[in-house]
């Protein structure tokens, strides 16, 4: 089961890529509801991990720009390392299971 750190990690990763048009697009790409992405963004801002700039007065109607703060970049890096460690543990566990099954099949 995913926890909030997984969601936080995914949102920070996606914000860093800047590969989305708006909150709705960001939510869609991450498989989140619009309410969930809104909540996540507000919490990340409250923690000082992202900066949200509003450009509604801009004639081009860009809307909002989401940027990682230095603190957000550090947090994303830590979450990335934790993610990689978890995936390596999962891989090692699957490899042990595979080797065990392979050994039992040869008997």
Domain count within the chain = 1
Name residues whose C-beta falls within 8 Å of residue 75's C-beta, 6 or more positions apart in sequence.
8, 12, 47, 49
Residue 91 has pLDDT above 90, yes or no: yes
- Reported as a pLDDT band with limits 50, 70 and 90, residue 65 is confident
Confidence (pLDDT) at 71 = 95
- DSSP string for residues in 14-72: HHHHT--SSHHHHHHHHT--HHHHHHHHHHHHHTTSEEEEE-TTSTT---EEEEE-HHH
Confidence (pLDDT) at 16 = 92
Residue 53 has pLDDT above 80, yes or no: yes
Full residue range of the structural domain in which residue 40 is found? 4-106
CATH number, position 57: 1.10.10.10
Confidence (pLDDT) at 6 = 87
- Reported as a pLDDT band with limits 50, 70 and 90, residue 64 is confident
């Amino acid at each position: 089961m995913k926890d909030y750190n997984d969601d936080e990690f995914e949102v920070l990763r996606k914000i860093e890529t800047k590969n989305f048009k708006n909150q709705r697009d960001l939510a869609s790409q991450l498989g989140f509801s619009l309410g969930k992405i809104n909540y996540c963004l507000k919490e990340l801002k409250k923690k000082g991990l992202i900066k949200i700039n509003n450009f509604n007065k801009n004639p081009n109607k860009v809307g909002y720009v989401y940027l990682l703060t230095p603190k957000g970049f550090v947090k994303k890096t830590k979450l990335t390392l934790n993610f990689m460690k978890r995936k390596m543990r999962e891989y090692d566990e699957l490899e042990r299971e595979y080797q065990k099954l392979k050994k039992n099949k040869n008997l």
